[in-house]
Amino acid sequence: MNKKKMWVIAVLLILIALFFYFHLGQYLTLSSLKENRDYLVAFYERHRVVTVSIFVAAYILQTALSLPGAAVLSLAAGAVFGAIMGTLYVNLGATVGATAAFLVARYLFNNVIQGRFGTRLEKINNELETRGFNYLLFLRLVPIFPFFLINLGAGLTRMRLRTFFFGTMIGIIPGSFVYCNAGASLASITSLSEVVSTRVLGSFALLGLFALVPVIYQKLKKR
């Protein structure tokens, strides 16, 4: 591994270490959000552009570094910006952050992975190159794997950057809206587990399966 890659890894580790060293996670809790909601709304009323810029930058950093707190940030977006605009800002931050994580993983480890397992991954790579959008849409809609693992894992394949970007942007809209809409009624939430009900998860699963319909159709057609 060359020096440039070593420096990138060092910077990432330092940023992650600083997050935990300064206990920044204490501000990304539901109780902290409730305590500071009025202050955040008042600050937003006085400094709209600054507040939006700070929020989007924080969401990008949180997602790019795979740090905890995405759910609370999404609730905060709904509480401060409202359900619609909150969803827009969350989508922007999460998509850009996920794409950054994707690119970093590809830059650091893609050549190593493809060099060692390229022949074994050939079928997966070909599938992702042709139908990657459908698979990614399914994974974004159905929370089978953690969000950050999908970002990093996709970067280790030959999935196109454009496919990853737009698949992520579209796939996270429903989930982002659910959290932002819940955040708009923050006072009624007592725990994060209340935000996503079984019915909502079932709806996401159906949307995810619908995204795989073209893939299933093509496979059946070949047979």
Q: Residue ranges of the domains in the chain? A: 3-222
Spatial contact of 73 and 59, defined as CB atoms under 8 Å apart: yes
pLDDT at 215: 84
Question: Is the pLDDT assigned to residue 222 strictly greater than 80?
Answer: no
Spatial contact of 206 and 198, defined as CB atoms under 8 Å apart: no
- Cα gap 203→108, rounded to integer Å: 36
pLDDT at 152: 94
DSSP H helices, the chain, are 3-21, 30-46, 48-64, 70-81, 83-105, 111-141, 147-155, 161-171, 173-183, 198-211, 213-222
pLDDT at 29: 95
Spatial contact of 51 and 80, defined as CB atoms under 8 Å apart: yes
Q: What is the mean pLDDT of residues 167-187?
A: 95
Question: Is the pLDDT assigned to residue 214 strictly greater than 90?
Answer: no
pLDDT at 2: 85
Of 20-29, 159-168, 196-205, where does mean pLDDT reach its minimum? 196-205
More confident: 35 or 196: 35
Residues 64-120: tens digit of each pLDDT: 999 999 999 999 999 999 999 999 999 999 999 999 999 999 999 988 887 777 677
More confident: 47 or 188: 47
What does the mean pLDDT of the chain come to? 92
pLDDT at 122: 84
pLDDT at 118: 65
